[in-house]
Chains A and B, each alone.
Chain A
Amino acid sequence: MLNFIARRILATVPVLAIVAVLVFLLLRLTPGDPAAILAGDAASADQIARIRISLGLDQPIIVQFGIWIGHLVTGDLGESFYYKIQVADLIAQRLEPTLSLATLTILFSVLVSVPLGVIAAWRFGGWFDRALMGFSVMGFSIPVFVLAYILIWIVSLKLGWLPVQGYKRIADGFWPYLQHLILPSITLSVIFIALIARVTRASVLESLGEDYIRTARAKGLRESQVLIRHALANAAVPIVTVIGIGIALLIGGVVVTESVYAIPGLGRLTVDAVLARDFPTIQGVILFFSLVYVGVNLLVDLSYVFLDPRIRY
């Protein structure tokens, strides 16, 4: 087991290295000059050139890459061109909102979608199943921002139940914190509920077709027991897997949701950094997201051991 964890952690190193190289090349081979942006609208060409030198952008790409990687291995993500503070600090500042949003979303989605999926599988082909599948396809098809606008308009403006925008830190009190997160989380959850409910339904459906379900019924167990202890327990691996995959999707959704609800999270940071050509920040954030993705998938892999005793590493 420990052996496996060590091996898996080591295996993430080349993945992250590839991410690092890809991201770096992606950025440095592009047009757009961060120095010109920093200098402001009325800056002269000479001023821009001097800023470029001060940022080290005049060096050959390979040298820039070497310097960056050199810092990276010591855990230094560099300093933001745009904000002039350490990228690591910047990420730390923006982490709480994004983490809160993501956690609440996943929590809410799982709590809602797994029971729905199980019931749909149990009543396969019935009206509930059809309705859920219909909703699920709809959930995949509505752009996140359209949904966000509709929700804001109804819930916040017309009904006045929740704030229209913004984020309150958990340190400012739990209720305001939650109040500001409810709407964004629901917005973001829809696609997840759709996704997880689909997978839950499909995998529960699959395990319902297995022999051990017939055995469980032949034992005279109640349907609820059959569904939860036998069907769902065996369907757990794909469900957990899709939650892991969903993290990647979530990051995409976060970018949009944070934009609409004015949440100062990592998604906004990315968009701002891209628009400002703030290379160190973009590199740092993408690397961070990749790390999260890889880490979550590692956890998912490890969770298999607990979900399915047949899996041993």
Chain B
Amino acid sequence: MTDAKLRGSGPVLDVRGLTIALPSGSDRREAVSGASFSVKRGEILCLVGESGSGKSVIAQAVMGLLPDTLPVTGGEIVLEGENVAHAGRERLRELRATRMSMIFQEPMTALNPVMTCGDQIDEVLREHTQLTPEQRRDRILAIVREVALPEPERIIASYPHQLSGGQRQRIMIAMALVLEPALLIADEPTTALDVTTQAQILTLIQDLQQRHGMGVLFITHDFGVVAEIAHRVAVLRLGKLVELGEKDAVLKRPQHAYTKMLIGAVPSLQTHGRAAEGASEPVLRTVGLCKTYYDRGWFGRRREVHAAQDVSIEIRRGQTLGIVGESGSGKSTVARCIIRLIDPTAGEILLHGQDIARMSAAELRPLRRRVQIVFQDPYRSLNPRRTVLEAIIEGPVNYGVRRDKAIERARQLMDLVRMDPASLNRYPHQFSGGQRQRICIARALAQEPELLIADEAVSALDVSVQAQVLDLLEDIRNRLNLAMLFITHDLRVAAQVCDYVAVMSQGRIVEHGPAGQVFGAPRHEYTRALFAAAPGRDFAFGSA
């Protein structure tokens, strides 16, 4: 009785002064300190923050899924009038999926790989309802249709790995919403998806939220997504809520310095329009570059995968060429062919006019130093057993530079990448992700390359750190007059750093030209679709 009454009014979720402790020995005492916010019926509240801000901890606290090592030490979590912060296991179990549901970042891992999608939805119904198998099946098919999945019959008989990323996330949403909960918690639900899929999922969430009138707690680090979907925004920094307000207010007129910094760091989709045709000879040119993988079977037919087809690009000194594409488009394959980590199947790679595509390892060796690369994952790019110094001088020493000279150069490079040369004798694990990425840049620069490849070099970094590294890369390119090949899936990043842009899809370059031209007036259908999907494209960040 009272339940029903309570449900009728008030916010779906009201978090008051929530404090969650961290285990002793952590870098701070509390994961979340006194956070207060509420989610109203029919509202999307975006919880924004960088990694380590505690935003996922809050989401899990609401669901009651926190491990024992992270206890709620203060405050209340009021779900439809009921304080669930210290509710018993059984009560929480009853509430989950019925009154509150959650979807996660990585739909591949969030779904049980050895169960069909239908069974996984069915589990929710079996656990929380007394429906007959037929009724359950009808409900499943209905919800699968509602999340706009094609061929529901086939889909529910499929295993997660047989579906695409977007379809899997739709299954997750179907599973979360099958019992029509009042609150949906979406923890970075689109971060792992390609930009076009992301746009579809965001639209779907908005649709469903309006149709069912749920409250949505949407957790993200991406201000583009915030701009796209939020009604209100809460900004978290190191476990503290620093700003809370209407979307437009927060994004356009941020009050807190941290919010300002974050929004200021979001790259703009506006190109800087620096692309002037250089007269210089290209440092590197590829002509009809192809990479095909063969799946060899004993009896079966050969399967061919064309990772890259007929890719022709050129890069000149002082210029940045961006290759933009979604995952699996072949952009990294091109980068790895150019640096000859893999051997191209066909085509030419001309380094100052000299074809290196088919050179032997020995012939290649003297040329290697001219092209260097920075990888995506800062945690795996450095040998954990070698000091930073050893990492940086490895290249020069390989080419006969005297050790003391190389050390001297390493110190200068540390300066160049804005790090303390005194930390040269430390090991990689003693540095943060952004710092490691700087070290990787220094290591590449130690070879005095003519071409620097950045393969998703800032994708794994938080937005503020990303801005710093992008800034550094640009600075270095200008100072050293480098040619740069910038591989990214992020249109904003591409817009900010690239002079020229090549858009790749399914192994082919579909559009190629000066950045201003490609961004300003995309000609190819795919490019247009890509830009249309970019979240928050119409929103001018920090414009105020």
Contact B127 A234 (CB under 8 A): no
The interface residues of chain A lying within 8 Å CB-to-CB of B175 are 215, 219
Contact B104 A220 (CB under 8 A): no
CA distance A194 to B104 in the complex (A): 36
CA distance A170 to B74 in the complex (A): 67
The interface residues of chain A lying within 8 Å CB-to-CB of B102 are 215, 218
Q: Does B416 contact A (CB under 8 A)?
A: no
The interface residues of chain B lying within 8 Å CB-to-CB of A214 are 60, 65, 104, 110
Among A218, A233, A236, the residue within 8 A (CB) of B101 is: A218
Name the residue on A nearest B98 (C-beta).
A220
CA distance A3 to B63 in the complex (A): 47
Q: Does B242 contact A (CB under 8 A)?
A: no
Contact B159 A309 (CB under 8 A): yes
CA distance A175 to B234 in the complex (A): 72
CA distance A222 to B94 in the complex (A): 10
Q: Does A84 contact B (CB under 8 A)?
A: no
Chain B window 51-75, contacts with chain A (Cβ cutoff 8 Å), 1 for yes, 0 for no: 0000000001001010000000000
Q: Does A89 contact B (CB under 8 A)?
A: no
Contact A220 B93 (CB under 8 A): yes
Contact A3 B161 (CB under 8 A): no
Given A212-B113, A307-B114: A221 in contact with B127 (beta carbons within 8 A)? yes
Among B106, B109, B176, B298, the residue within 8 A (CB) of A7 is: B298
Contact A229 B115 (CB under 8 A): yes
Among A6, A212, A220, A236, the residue within 8 A (CB) of B111 is: A212
The total of chain A residues at the interface (CB under 8 A) is 26
Contact A219 B97 (CB under 8 A): yes
CA distance A219 to B171 in the complex (A): 13
Contact A233 B112 (CB under 8 A): yes
Which residues A214-239 have CB closer than 8 A to chain B?
Answer: 214-222, 225, 229-230, 233-234, 236
Chain B window 85-121, contacts with chain A (Cβ cutoff 8 Å), 1 for yes, 0 for no: 0000000111111100110101001111111000000
The interface residues of chain A lying within 8 Å CB-to-CB of B294 are none
Contact B110 A212 (CB under 8 A): yes
Contact A7 B299 (CB under 8 A): yes
**Nearest Cβ distance between residue B231 and chain A, in whole angstroms?**
24
Contact B114 A219 (CB under 8 A): no
Among A211, A221, A236, A308, the residue within 8 A (CB) of B109 is: A211
Contact A211 B159 (CB under 8 A): no
Contact A3 B127 (CB under 8 A): no
CA distance A216 to B110 in the complex (A): 9
Contact B109 A210 (CB under 8 A): yes
Q: Does B275 contact A (CB under 8 A)?
A: no
Interface centre among B65, B98, B113 (most CB of A within 10 A): B113
The interface residues of chain A lying within 8 Å CB-to-CB of B115 are 229-230, 233
**Nearest Cβ distance between residue B372 and chain A, in whole angstroms?**
36
Name the residue on B nearest A2 (C-beta).
B299
The interface residues of chain A lying within 8 Å CB-to-CB of B366 are none
**Nearest Cβ distance between residue B164 and chain A, in whole angstroms?**
15
CA distance A236 to B485 in the complex (A): 45
Q: Does A158 contact B (CB under 8 A)?
A: no
Given A211-B104, A212-B110: A219 in contact with B300 (beta carbons within 8 A)? no
The interface residues of chain A lying within 8 Å CB-to-CB of B63 are 218
Q: Does B533 contact A (CB under 8 A)?
A: no
The interface residues of chain A lying within 8 Å CB-to-CB of B127 are 219-222, 225
Question: Interface on B for A, CB 8 Å cutoff?
Answer: 60, 63, 65, 92-98, 101-102, 104, 106, 109-115, 123-124, 127-128, 159, 161, 172, 175-176, 297-300
Shortest 10 CB-CB contacts between residues of A and residues of B: A220-B96, A211-B109, A211-B110, A212-B112, A309-B159, A220-B97, A218-B102, A220-B93, A310-B161, A215-B110
Known: A6-B298, A211-B109, A219-B124. 4 other contacts (CB 8 A): A3-B300, A215-B102, A221-B93, A308-B114
8 CB < 8 A contacts A-B: A7-B299, A212-B112, A218-B101, A221-B127, A233-B112, A234-B114, A307-B114, A309-B114
